[in-house]
């Protein structure tokens, strides 16, 4: 019985670990405005989905270890409005994301800008984000 419960918990835990958070919350409830991050890494996955997109980025830690980031973006319609396309996400692409780290999950961030290798710079911030000058006027 205990083994069964453990297995169920393991499966549920694994499922939760790869599912982006869906519930709505205020930006400042989920992300730490005192912890801006600049993440330079390789994009492994992009979820072009409502109500938010998700960029999965691998960065290299000072000790050489790879850190996996999940970065929340605006909804796809807003990304498109700012010129970003699904086709921009190519295999092995590097990118720099600026944003804010999650309050409870150190591998979670909310992206404000995305700079691709060719120098194109996109605003990817969610609605309700801080007024930090990232949003194009």
From the CB of 25, what's the least distance to other proteins, in Å? 7
| DSSP at 106 | T
Residues within the interface to other proteins (CB under 8 A): 22-26, 28-29, 44-51, 75-77, 86, 89-93, 127-128
Q: Which is nearer to other proteins, 106 or 128 (CB)?
A: 128
SS3 at position 121: strand
The span from the CA of 47 to the CA of 25, in Å, is: 20
Q: Which is nearer to other proteins, 1 or 18 (CB)?
A: 18
Query: Three-state secondary structure along 81-124?
Result: HCCCCHHHCCCCCEEEEEEEEECCCCCEEEEEEEEECCCCEEEC
From the CB of 52, what's the least distance to other proteins, in Å? 8
Q: Which is nearer to other proteins, 5 or 18 (CB)?
A: 18
From the CB of 24, what's the least distance to other proteins, in Å? 6
């Amino acid at each position: 019985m205990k083994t069964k419960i453990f297995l169920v918990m393991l499966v549920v835990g694994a499922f939760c670990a790869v599912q982006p958070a869906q519930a709505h919350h205020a930006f400042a409830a989920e992300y730490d405005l005192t912890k801006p991050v600049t993440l330079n890494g390789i994009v492994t996955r992009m979820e072009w989905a409502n109500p938010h997109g998700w960029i999965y980025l691998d960065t290299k830690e000072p000790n050489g270890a790879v850190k996996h980031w999940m970065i929340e973006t605006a909804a796809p319609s807003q990304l498109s409005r700012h010129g970003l396309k699904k086709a921009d996400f190519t295999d092995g692409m590097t990118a720099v994301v600026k944003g804010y780290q999650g309050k409870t999950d150190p591998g979670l961030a909310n992206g404000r800008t995305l700079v691709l290798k060719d120098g194109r710079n996109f605003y990817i911030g969610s609605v309700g984000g801080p007024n930090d000058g990232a949003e194009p006027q």
